[in-house]
């Protein structure tokens, strides 16, 4: 099997990885992109393609799936090579100073630099500890919303207090028969404006807020949910009629093989220098949710800025003796590799 040669191997084809292709392309750097999913887009595609995002500059509101399509189109002029449905299982340095990557299906790539944009790594939902949970999963209990229309005219119980729970409660309130939000404390961990909108809809009777309560049990048969049982911290029990339960308790992250590459880690994150997103290993950079440094904001737009910083640093690393004169894209245009 032949070995692919490239300037940069990008691990992760989520939104930040896709924008990194564009930024590297503007630096005249060729990219091969590896992702364990069968499609580009990361969580935006696999978990919530119809989730609205409100903090992308220039877009008052954009669906996650639409954002991915735009990012992919933006990267197209630079002709990236995608290796999808592949996991990088080994990473070594060659005698020539290149990085040698091998994937789970035997693809081999030699790159001058590595850019890790793997989001939270391998991920799966945090499941609530409820008896009989597995009997309803996939029919009445879902951890992601892939098609909003699947929930039209349904009685929904949404559990959780973060952005996903609040954002989907707001979005699905437009089409659901009834929405009940269950959270164990009065305060939510969502964007302030989203929380304010949730409270307004609760006051108008559009959404029922059951707080402070937490999930206690499930009622139904043959995979069809009939009710969700909740319990307050004081022991009060309530039964909520429901067709669907959406527990949004976040994702359990696992770095996988990345954890064994000698990088400086902070639990499930890679420590980087915020000025250029370099790791403790020369030639390896990390951006997006997998990268961390003091006071970092975990936002897609932060990852976009990191992609630009890393691309400039990678160009200097790959071409250390070349003088680079920075130009804005309005001046240079799109430089096709």
Across the range 186-199, mean pLDDT stands at: 92
Residue range 17-31, pLDDT digits in tens: 999 999 999 999 999
Give the per-residue pLDDT at 268.
84
Cα 152 to Cα 52, 62, 202, 327: the distances in Å are: 17, 21, 19, 49
How confident is residue 122, by pLDDT bands cut at 50, 70 and 90? low
Residue 253 has pLDDT above 70, yes or no: no
The residue length of the chain stands at 337
The predicted structure's pLDDT at residue 146: 78
pTM: 0.73
Residue 190 has pLDDT above 90, yes or no: no
Which pLDDT score is estimated for 195? Answer: 94
Query: Is it the case that residue 337 has pLDDT exceeding 60?
Result: no
Are both 3-123+251-332 and 127-247 of the same fold? yes
Highest mean pLDDT among 122-126, 188-192, 248-252, 321-325: 188-192
Fold of 3-123+251-332: FAD/NAD(P)-binding domain (3.50.50)
pLDDT digits (tens, 9 = 90+) for 33-82: 999 888 899 888 877 788 889 999 999 999 999 999 999 999 999 999 99
Enumerate the domain spans of the chain: 3-123+251-332, 127-247
Residue-wise pLDDT tens digits, 81-108: 999 989 999 999 999 999 999 999 999 9
The CATH label, of 3.40.640.10, 3.40.50.2300, 3.40.50.300, 3.50.50.60, for the domain at 127-247 is 3.50.50.60
């Amino acid at each position: 099997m032949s070995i692919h040669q490239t300037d940069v191997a990008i691990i992760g084809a989520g939104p930040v990885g896709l924008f990194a292709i564009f930024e590297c392309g503007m630096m005249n750097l060729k990219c091969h992109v590896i992702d364990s999913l069968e499609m580009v887009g990361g969580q935006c595609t696999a978990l919530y393609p119809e989730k609205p995002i409100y903090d992308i500059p220039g877009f008052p509101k954009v669906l996650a799936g639409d954002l991915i399509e735009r990012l992919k189109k933006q990267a197209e002029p630079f002709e990236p090579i995608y290796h999808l449905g592949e996991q990088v299982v080994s990473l070594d340095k060659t005698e020539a100073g290149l990085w040698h990557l091998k994937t789970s299906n035997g693809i081999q790539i030699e790159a001058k630099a590595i850019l890790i944009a793997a989001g939270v790594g391998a991920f799966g939902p945090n499941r609530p500890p409820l008896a009989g949970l597995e009997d309803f999963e996939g029919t009445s209990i879902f951890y992601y919303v892939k098609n909003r229309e699947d929930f039209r005219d349904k009685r929904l119980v949404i559990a959780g207090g973060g952005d996903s729970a609040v954002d989907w409660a707001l979005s699905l309130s437009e089409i659901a028969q009834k929405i009940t939000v269950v959270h164990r404390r009065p305060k939510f961990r969502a964007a302030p404006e989203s929380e304010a909108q949730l409270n307004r809809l609760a006051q108008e009777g559009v959404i029922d807020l059951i707080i402070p309560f937490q999930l206690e049990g499930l009622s139904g048969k043959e995979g069809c949910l009939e009710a969700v049982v909740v319990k307050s911290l004081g022991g009060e029990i309530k039964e909520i009629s429901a067709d669907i339960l959406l527990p949004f308790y976040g994702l359990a992250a696992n770095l996988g093989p990345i954890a064994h590459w000698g990088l400086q880690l902070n639990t499930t994150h890679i420590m980087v220098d915020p000025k250029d997103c370099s790791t403790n290993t020369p030639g390896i950079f990390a951006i997006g949710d997998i990268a961390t440094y003091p006071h970092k904001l975990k936002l897609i737009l932060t990852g976009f800025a990191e992609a630009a910083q890393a691309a400039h640093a990678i160009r200097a690393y790959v071409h250390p003796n070349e003088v680079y004169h920075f130009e804005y894209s309005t001046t240079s245009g799109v430089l096709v590799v």
